[in-house]
Structure 1
Amino acid sequence: MDLDDVRVVVTGAGRDTGLLIASAFAARGARVFLSARDLGAARRAAEPIRAEAFRCDLADPASVREFAEAVRARTDRVDVLVNNAAQYREGEISDDEVEQIIAGGATGTVLLTQHLLPLLRRSDRPDIVTMISGCGEPGNHRSAAHPAFYAAKHAQAGFAEILSHRLRPEGIRVISLFPPDFVQEGPRVAGSALTARSVVDCVMFAVGQPRDCFIREFRFEQVR
């Protein structure tokens, strides 16, 4: 799939799944704008794939606005926005961590999408991809994630659902993924845990479809 000069924004791309997503787009010729809460991590991730690095703390509205403004200063459109950033926690956590998880996953996702929507509307192939998690599915209780993470992911799911309905007439595809807890590396065989690379392959498949194909969601079977 040739994505030459496709403009892609990926949040939470300093490492792991976000970096894999950014790398997959860059390898296909896309111009990638990636962010992380730590600018140093963003720069280290961006250098080998020739992406552009930015700091963005989604739990901080001012940081979200600064990131969106920086992207607007460098491109006249965004073709793909990948809302990937998330703070996963288990066990007992502090009040501040609860606030960070919900603010980043819920408020931050809404604000960044809202700020970049004018640039997405200038694209002839606009996609909004959100890495939600199985924790955003009604009745899901399989993850050991803290309830705050569940709350943030349910907020993302609700946002993506109404966004899909309202933006469909404009030709903007809203694609949501609901993977269970997955591993970064693994054998990728039946019976094994879902891997990050398999999740990334789903993203690349969805954005590569013709514009009459609106894949709204990816739901995954559980290993357990």
Structure 2
Amino acid sequence: MNLAQKTVVVTGAGRGFGRALALEAGRSGARVFLSARTLAAAQGVADEVAADSGAEAEAFACDLADPSTVRAFAEGVAARTDRVDVLINNGARYLEGPDLWDADDDAITDTIASGAAGTLLTVKHFLSLLRTSEGADVVNLISSAAEAQNHRSQAHPAFYAAKAAQAGFADVLSHRLRPEGIRVISLYPPDFTDGDPLHSTWEHTSRTADDPLTAQSVLECVLFAIGQPRDCFIRSFHFEQV
């Protein structure tokens, strides 16, 4: 997909799928603003983007569980551009352990704050920049854990709670922003293999129904949705699981 002249923001881009999103945005010609919990992690990926594709990439520290850093991230981007065309809410803390006692109170609070409040505040503080775009997209990487009666994950109940809240926010946001032409696209993938999908060694055509979902497949869903004409509002992607 061609993202030339587009401005893309990616949260949680210090590693894994967020890093892959930032790299692909750069390869597609976008100007990329990316965040991670530490500036060092974000800057490392920004340097990778620049070396990989020559795209302009700028790094910011942003702890999604800390409202002040979310505001600072948005203010920093606003000081450098007058619009955001694609906002990708990828960042959120994962917490493992099926029993409530598998995590302490601070970890539970941090997980819900980063996944739920963090997403809401990110959209809130970037909304003015999204509204100045001729056609903005908000992409939410949620999780199959947010689907009703999906009990497959061994994630902590706090992660389930965070993702359910994120899904509820995305649903109402899609309805309320549609009259402005802003699309809200949510993905509900199960666990998938992480990394840089375009530098992986497997062939796309060799994948079968028995293979685990890959980062490339999830990434292609994102690119497909934001590449559609502006009369096409794809609200969500849900994935079949065995």
Asked if TM exceeds 0.5, the reply is yes
| Separation of aligned partners in 2, 1:211 and 1:25 | 19
Cα RMSD, aligned residues only: 1.1
Structure-2 residue corresponding to 1:217:
236
Structure-1 residue corresponding to 2:61:
55
| Separation of aligned partners in 1, 2:185 and 2:122 | 16
Once the two structures are TM-superposed, the CA of residue 97 in structure 1 deviates from its matched residue by 0.6
| Separation of aligned partners in 1, 2:187 and 2:135 | 19
| Separation of aligned partners in 2, 1:196 and 1:147 | 24
Once the two structures are TM-superposed, the CA of residue 3 in structure 1 deviates from its matched residue by 1.0
Task: Establish whether residue 64 from structure 1 lines up as the match of residue 74 from structure 2.
Answer: no
Structure-2 residue corresponding to 1:174:
184
Task: Establish whether residue 88 from structure 1 lines up as the match of residue 94 from structure 2.
Answer: yes
| Separation of aligned partners in 2, 1:189 and 1:79 | 34
Structure-1 residue corresponding to 2:3:
3
Show CA shifts across 1:47-102 (max 9, x none). Answer: 02121100000000011111111011011000000000011121211111101100
| Separation of aligned partners in 2, 1:39 and 1:149 | 25
| Separation of aligned partners in 2, 1:22 and 1:142 | 29
The one of 176, 201, 210 aligned to 1:191: 210
| Separation of aligned partners in 1, 2:145 and 2:188 | 8
Structure-2 residue corresponding to 1:116:
126
Once the two structures are TM-superposed, the CA of residue 183 in structure 1 deviates from its matched residue by 1.5
The one of 125, 141, 149 aligned to 2:159: 149
Equivalent residue runs for 1:27-46 within 5 Å: 27-46=27-46
Structure-2 residue corresponding to 1:206:
225
Show CA shifts across 1:194-222 (max 9, x none). Answer: 01121111101111111111111000001
Q: Could you state the TM-score of these two structures normalised by the residue count of structure 2?
A: 0.90
Query: Structure 2 unaligned runs (5+)?
Result: 51-56
Show CA shifts across 1:129-182 (max 9, x none). Answer: 000000111111011111000000000000000000001111000000000111
- The DSSP-based 3-state class of the residue aligned with 1:74 is coil
Q: Could you state the TM-score of these two structures normalised by the residue count of structure 1?
A: 0.97
Query: Structure 1 unaligned runs (5+)?
Result: none
- The DSSP-based 3-state class of the residue aligned with 1:129 is strand
| Separation of aligned partners in 2, 1:184 and 1:76 | 32
Q: Percent identity?
A: 62
| Separation of aligned partners in 1, 2:193 and 2:154 | 14
- The DSSP-based 3-state class of the residue aligned with 2:34 is strand
Structure 1 runs (4+) greater than 4 angstroms displaced = none
- The DSSP-based 3-state class of the residue aligned with 2:194 is coil
Once the two structures are TM-superposed, the CA of residue 32 in structure 1 deviates from its matched residue by 0.5
The one of 142, 145, 165 aligned to 2:175: 165
Once the two structures are TM-superposed, the CA of residue 189 in structure 1 deviates from its matched residue by 2.7
Range with bigger deviation, 53-62 or 90-99? 90-99
